[in-house]
Chain A
Amino acid sequence: MSWADASYSLEELIFKGVKRALHASKTCIDAVDSVVLAAHDLVDGRSLSSMVTAPAAGAYLRDEIRLAEDGLVALSLAGARVAAGESELSIVAAWGRASEGDFLSQSRAAMDPFLVQPFGLTEADISAFRLSRWLGAHGPQDEARVRAAEMRLVRARQNPRAIDTSAPLLPLNAPLRVDEAPRCADIVVAALVGSRESACHISGIGHGTDATLVGDRDWLERPALRTAVEQALGEARLSLKDLDLFEIDGMTLADEALALEAIGLAEPGDGFGLYARSDRINPSGGSAAGWCYPAMGLVRFAECLLRLDAGGKRGVAVGSSPIGDQTQTAVVLEVA
């Protein structure tokens, strides 16, 4: 992660990140036979963004698929290709460079032109809507919100991969607060998925897609998120209580905390409280450690994997996509 480091072009950042993943995996580009990428033109500021940047991710003369989706979807696709025997070793990479553009303007441009764009709505506003519903149902809970924000910041400060505080916080509208904001970052994240025996394996993957229009959705139940997590756990033959670690993507602290209730980990009304109490939940510091669409699902996966390597057996990473977390992906990973 970095912020507005003009000594690197986007392609150079991608090369640096993917090269580091190859090195950490003790392998080289010659062993890789496929590449799956997640990037987005609006965020990259380049039309067909991953077409012009794919070679920097190792795609030159390789089987390559690119998605305008969250990075965890790319991981899911790479895993499916490996499981199907189409690939033996695949690079999965996702990136976004928030410092080159204006995320809130990009977000406004991505909304429905008839029903939503005239109001200037952004992804951050949808997070505020969700929180307003939760506050109406459960009361202000100021102490729990403040405590969760403090603990998230502590965890982010302890994360050696986190962006520093020179990067800006995304402006938010009420009832969201400044200490619940994501810290913007330029992010490249990469992983290698293969068929060889490994200390870490993916044991379950789930996906969920909610209604197109935000006004059709259940603000707190979030069935797409719940479906994705239940599918992944079912495939892994595990339950929530079997997991040692939860890395949950959310643009704001509110999104992260309320997701805990939606997946059944926290009781209704206790999302912020559990977030503050449990160091098994987003020990990375979540979006306070750096945030940029569409890399975050794969960041959550990488944080989960690296932390399981240091202790713990099983974890889940959850990624989400616009608009307002319409699509969700969950991946269960286990370390031998």
Chain B
Amino acid sequence: MNADPELITIPGRWDFEYRYFAGATASRFFAEIRDNRRIMGTRCAKSGRVLVPARSFSDAEYELTTDWVETGPGGVLEVFTIVGTKFSGLPDPPFVLGYVTLDGADTAILNYISGVDLTDLDVAARILMTRPRVSAVFKEAREGRITDFHFKVEQK
């Protein structure tokens, strides 16, 4: 046996399909976005908190949610990141992602953030750190997906 063999490395790739079931509550959430341009939450009967995106139960209270509540379209940008690397299927960098707490909601939802000049990233970051007001902007052609809208920073 060769005591110093050529070391073998082989390529591998996982590439198989799934189908994910959203469930009735999330399906209505996405239908409201598509059909009515509304971002809906559901209220936890025990705490009264409005949970966005809508879901059928509150894991914090461990109770079913009850009534549906329209939230936004305005809200507050809670946190952000400025994405600087290219990844297949995403916009060309730089772009901003952030979590927004919509008016009337108690939890935050993720989406793209526009309306900030990204020419100077440090300046942009300083603006975004102030937790600016944002508003949802809906696409004309909507498919019932989370990407049917994004948030735009409101100009003061």
Question: Which residues does A use to contact B, with CB under 8 Å?
Answer: 6-7, 45, 104, 108, 113-116, 118-121, 125, 128-130, 132-133, 135-136, 171, 173-176, 211-216, 219
Given known contacts A129-B99, A133-B79, what 10 new A-B pairs fall within 8 Å (CB)? A6-B7, A114-B30, A128-B80, A132-B81, A136-B129, A174-B81, A175-B81, A211-B59, A211-B60, A215-B108
A136 adjacent to B130 (CB under 8 Å)? yes
- The docked-state distance in angstroms from the alpha carbon of A132 to that of B87 is 22
Give residues 1-27 of B contacting A (CB, 8 Å). 7-9, 12, 14, 18, 20, 22, 26
- The docked-state distance in angstroms from the alpha carbon of A135 to that of B130 is 9
A219 adjacent to B89 (CB under 8 Å)? no
Contact with A along B51-62 (1 / 0, CB 8 A): 111010001100
Other-chain contact of B107, A45, A108, A128, A215 (Cβ < 8 Å): A215
Q: Which residues of A contact B52 (CB under 8 A)?
A: 215
Contact with A along B75-102 (1 / 0, CB 8 A): 0001111111101011000000111000
The 8 closest A-B pairs by CB, nearest first: A215-B108, A128-B81, A129-B79, A6-B7, A136-B129, A174-B82, A216-B107, A120-B90
- The docked-state distance in angstroms from the alpha carbon of A104 to that of B51 is 29
Closest to B7 in A: A6
Closest to B6 in A: A6
- The docked-state distance in angstroms from the alpha carbon of A219 to that of B99 is 11
Other-chain contact of A132, B59, B79, B85 (Cβ < 8 Å): B79
- Is B121 an interface position by the 8 A CB rule? yes
Task: Pick 25 A–B contacts, CB within 8 A, sort by A.
Answer: A45-B12, A104-B87, A113-B18, A114-B30, A119-B97, A119-B147, A125-B81, A125-B83, A129-B79, A129-B80, A129-B98, A129-B99, A132-B79, A132-B125, A174-B81, A174-B125, A175-B81, A175-B82, A175-B125, A213-B55, A215-B99, A215-B107, A215-B110, A216-B51, A219-B78
A214 adjacent to B110 (CB under 8 Å)? yes
- The docked-state distance in angstroms from the alpha carbon of A45 to that of B15 is 12
Closest to B30 in A: A114
Q: Which residues of B contact A118 (CB under 8 A)?
A: 145-147
A114 adjacent to B22 (CB under 8 Å)? yes
Q: Which residues of B contact A176 (CB under 8 A)?
A: 81
Closest to B124 in A: A174
Q: Which residues of A contact B145 (CB under 8 A)?
A: 118
Closest to A212 in B: B59
B90 adjacent to A215 (CB under 8 Å)? no
Closest to B147 in A: A118
B90 adjacent to A119 (CB under 8 Å)? yes
Would you give the shortest CB distance from A258 to chain B, in whole angstroms?
12
Contact with A along B16-50 (1 / 0, CB 8 A): 00101010001000100000000000000000000
Chain B interface residue bracket vs A: 35 or more
Closest to A219 in B: B79
Other-chain contact of B20, A108, A114, A120, A132 (Cβ < 8 Å): A114
Other-chain contact of B79, A119, A130, A174 (Cβ < 8 Å): A130
Q: Which residues of A contact B69 (CB under 8 A)?
A: none
Q: Which residues of B contact A212 (CB under 8 A)?
A: 59
- The docked-state distance in angstroms from the alpha carbon of A51 to that of B6 is 28
Would you give the shortest CB distance from B51 to chain A, in whole angstroms?
7
Q: Which residues of B contact A120 (CB under 8 A)?
A: 83, 87, 89-90
A173 adjacent to B110 (CB under 8 Å)? no
- The docked-state distance in angstroms from the alpha carbon of A39 to that of B52 is 33
Give residues 105-134 of B contacting A (CB, 8 Å). 107-112, 121, 125, 128-131
Other-chain contact of B14, A45, A132, A214 (Cβ < 8 Å): A45
A173 adjacent to B90 (CB under 8 Å)? no
Q: Which residues of B contact A130 (CB under 8 A)?
A: 79
B111 adjacent to A119 (CB under 8 Å)? yes
Closest to A116 in B: B110
A171 adjacent to B26 (CB under 8 Å)? no
Q: Which residues of B contact A104 (CB under 8 A)?
A: 87
Would you give the shortest CB distance from A221 to chain B, in whole angstroms?
13
Closest to B51 in A: A216
Q: A215-B110, A216-B107 are in contact. Are A113 and B20 (CB under 8 A)?
A: yes
A132 adjacent to B80 (CB under 8 Å)? yes
Closest to A109 in B: B14
Closest to A139 in B: B129
Closest to A41 in B: B14
- The docked-state distance in angstroms from the alpha carbon of A129 to that of B113 is 13
